[in-house]
């Protein structure tokens, strides 16, 4: 990814959870991940799923959600791993509407014990099942720099459509964040260039022998079964990936991460404001490591002719949007 120079920041967060909350936060602190059910209504979830389909059709490449023969790359905008999109979608009106849903904000506010939050400029996920033109391989990873041992981020995924055993969706290794430090205290084999290139993104890809290390200690992958409106939260040290959709259901989801604004430096906020004003995506981190992303979608070896640098529908600049974007003070 082409980027500008990152800002030097405090990395580990200064947050000490209570020993006991008496609610879902106890499970999160124990396991490093949790599913919160019905954070938004099924009706709102359907609205966001419909907006994602509308967004795909806006490219006028012939995609039809009712015609599986159009579920191919030539009829779709370029995506990462067959279903993660950018093209300015990060700042679409509906994407910001999802971020500002009261139930979503309340979940992160409760977790961090503050209402003064910043939101990530992350992407959406649309997985079309049974695609023949997508070569799918598991890629277990964590969105966390292995050189950093403490908590730095809690990630989230808001789900918009039913996600059962055969539907595409998130897979995580519950509790694996607890042994993150132990795993990286040992000399690792199979680290490749991919991991080093992604350090600015806080990314580590686990190979088969790495996964076996966790399995030998009793950790196992679980495919999340989610309903429309459910929110999954996980410590960024959690080993996770996703599975390919084999059923009939199109997968609709959106990645949302919120962190306390107090963790961000003034320089990070300036960079965040720049990215917001220029409709740029960032990584999953809302408060630091802010990189104006300059990657362009490549189709057949050249710039995709449908490339765009702003959303089809620009967001409504409400107080909630501007505060979460780091543009307006609380």
How does residue 174 score in pLDDT terms, banded at 50, 70 and 90? very high
Q: How much is the pTM?
A: 0.92
How confident is the prediction for the chain on average, in pLDDT? 90
Nearest to 173 by CA among 164, 183, 186, 163: 183
Q: Are 168 and 83 in contact (CB under 8 A)?
A: yes
Q: Closest Cα partner for 183 from 153, 243, 233, 140? A: 140
State the average pLDDT over residues 166-184.
Answer: 95
d(Cα 237, Cα 18) in Å, to the nearest integer? 20
Please identify, in words, the CATH class of the domain defined by 24-137+149-164+225-233+245-324: mainly beta
What does the alpha-carbon distance between residue 235 and residue 18 come to, in Å, rounded to a whole number? 16
Concatenate the DSSP letters of all residues of 190-205 into one string. ---HHHHHTGGGT-EE
pLDDT in tens, 200-217: 568 888 999 999 999 999
Q: How does pLDDT run across 211-238, given as a tens digit for each residue?
A: 999 999 999 999 999 999 999 999 999 9
Q: Where are the domains of the chain?
A: 24-137+149-164+225-233+245-324
């Amino acid at each position: 990814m082409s980027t500008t120079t990152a800002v030097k920041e405090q990395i580990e967060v200064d947050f000490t959870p209570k020993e006991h909350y008496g609610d879902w936060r106890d499970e999160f602190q124990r396991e490093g991940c949790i599913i919160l059910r019905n954070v938004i209504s099924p009706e709102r979830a359907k609205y966001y799923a419909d907006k994602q389909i509308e967004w795909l059709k806006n490219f006028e490449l012939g995609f039809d959600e009712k015609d599986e023969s159009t579920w191919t790359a030539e009829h779709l905008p370029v995506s990462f791993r067959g279903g993660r999109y950018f093209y300015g979608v990060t700042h679409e009106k509906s994407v910001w509407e999802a971020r500002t849903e009261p139930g979503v904000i309340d979940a992160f506010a409760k977790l961090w014990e503050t209402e003064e939050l910043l939101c990530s400029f992350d992407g959406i996920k649309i997985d079309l099942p049974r695609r023949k033109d997508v070569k799918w391989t598991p890629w277990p990873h964590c969105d966390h720099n292995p050189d950093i041992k403490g908590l730095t981020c809690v990630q989230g995924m808001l789900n918009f459509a039913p996600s059962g055993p055969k539907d595409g969706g998130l897979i995580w290794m519950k509790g694996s964040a607890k042994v993150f430090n132990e795993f990286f205290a040992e000399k690792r084999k199979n680290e490749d260039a991919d991991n080093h290139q992604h350090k600015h993104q806080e990314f580590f890809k686990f190979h088969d022998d790495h996964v076996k290390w966790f399995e030998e200690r009793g950790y196992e992958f679980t495919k999340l079964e989610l309903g429309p409106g459910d929110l999954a939260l996980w410590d960024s040290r959690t080993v996770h990936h996703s599975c390919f959709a084999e059923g009939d259901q199109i997968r609709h989801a959106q990645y949302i991460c919120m962190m306390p604004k107090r963790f961000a430096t003034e320089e990070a906020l300036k960079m965040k404001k720049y990215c917001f004003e220029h409709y740029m995506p960032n990584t999953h981190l809302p408060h630091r490591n802010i990189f104006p992303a300059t990657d362009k979608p490549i189709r057949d070896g050249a710039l995709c002719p449908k490339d765009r640098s702003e959303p089809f529908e620009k967001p409504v600049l409400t107080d909630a949007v501007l505060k979460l974007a780091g543009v307006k003070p609380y």
